[in-house]
Amino acid sequence: MLSSTAKNLYWMGRYLQRAKTTARLIEATQRMALQSRGKEAEGVVAIFGMDDEFRQRQSQGGRLSDLIDFLAFDESNPSSIISSIGSARRNAREERNNITVDVWESLNALWLEITAKLRGNRAALDRGALIETVKKQAVMIFGAAQVTLLRDEAYNFFQIGSFLERGDNTARILDVKFHRLLPDGNPNTEELDYFAWSEVLACIGAVRTYRRIYRSSLEPKKIADLMMLRRDVPRSVHHCLWMVDMAMNELADAYGTRGEADRLAGELHARVRYARIDQIFDIGLHEFLGDLRTDIATLSNEIGRQFLLD
């Protein structure tokens, strides 16, 4: 496979996952705004590491409407929903022969619908409805990919991009949200904001999943365990790194060679596979997640060097 083809499919997966995660975060933040004291914007932009950019571009920084416009509809923000979907569409258009009609038409229809609405009167725009559209359509695009794409190198590069982005996003969400709710990092607290912790789980669509697994009231340590170490939770860090490792193994078998990216993928998967939540809190959750995110970025760079000629 040409490196340009691998690169397009890898980044198509990353951009689509980024748009989907951002839509979920905005939706959860809108719900939190009904209960909190107006600090929502600060927490969400911190997840993306864009605090300074947000403050510079918003004349009255901190308002929820400013946050939605910045993260969803600001084309000058390369990580916004509109920018991410546009980039994913450009990648997909280059690879029409390597994706199915169902995947392309779902993605193209989402792009056309969003851009048509944004060309209209912004003051009358129903932002909540548009965010919901993005979330639902992204699920349909990923669903179309799962049921129609040929299981070859193209599929594996799409999978690697999607799950690497998802794992990084989940680690960022947990790190920022956990330490905003518990600044001292101590999970053994007697006073717990049930609604706020429910929204942490809602960011990865796992509120009901938590109840099914633990059958108990919300506990910060169990929430961290679910978001990091449960392989059976599709948006957990463990599940994502497991899927990346499997896709890397598929590529290694196809190409008959392994490199540094393969070693890093296996090492990262093993780290979360054999980790225990009590040990992580002994180390420090923030420190553990910081190291993990750094190594995910290193893996991304190594994939670029090994396959994408970056």
Give the residue with greater pLDDT, 79 vs 248: 248
138 to 110, 135, 147, 157: CA distances (angstroms) = 8, 5, 14, 18
pLDDT value of position 38 = 52
Which residue bears the tokens 């995910």? 296
- The confidence band for 36, taking pLDDT boundaries of 50, 70 and 90, is low
- The confidence band for 302, taking pLDDT boundaries of 50, 70 and 90, is very high
Check pLDDT > 90 for residue 128. no
**Tens-place pLDDT, residues 162-180:** 999 999 999 999 999 998 8
DSSP 234-287: TTSHHHHHHHHHHHHHHHHHHHT---HHHHHHHHHHHHHHS--HHHHHHH-HHH
H or E segment to which residue 298 belongs: helix 285-303
Which residue bears the tokens 């932002």? 127
% of the chain exceeding 70 in pLDDT = 91
pLDDT value of position 46 = 72
Check pLDDT > 80 for residue 39. no
| 298, 268 contact by CB (below 8 A) | no
DSSP 175-198: HHHHHHH-TT-----S---HHHHH
- The confidence band for 145, taking pLDDT boundaries of 50, 70 and 90, is very high
